Amino acid sequence: MKPAYVALLILVAALLAAGQMLFRISLVLYGATTLLYIYILQNVPLSAAYPFMALALVLVPLLAVFLLGETVSLKYVGGLTLIIGGLLLTVQ
């Protein structure tokens, strides 16, 4: 997969995470994310693009820690690490 598409997929996951955190502008973010994802799927197979959606499961807790001051447990960090590891395995 081209690095540009990997960057766009990471952007899609970040926009999804931001949409969950920033409720007031979530519809705009979700709309932009959907259009960007449709563009990506025209150029990248779904089997290669879809694993990047798991990044939203990583980014939302990270945003909650940095923006809302929440804490996450060590077990949770371990789970996030496994998600990232699985993503790296599927991208190879």
Query: pLDDT, tens digit, for every residue of 6-52?
Result: 888 888 888 777 776 666 677 777 788 889 899 999 999 988 888 88
CB of 57 within 8 A of CB of 83? yes
CB of 14 within 8 A of CB of 57? no
pLDDT, tens digit, 9 for 90 and up, residues 53-82: 888 888 888 888 888 899 989 999 999 999
DSSP SS3 for 43: coil
- CA dist 1 and 17 (Å) reads 23
Domain spans in the chain, listed from the N-terminal domain onward = 3-91
- Residues present in the chain in total: 92
Place of tokens 């960057």: 7
pTM of structure: 0.62
Radius of gyration of the chain (CA): 14
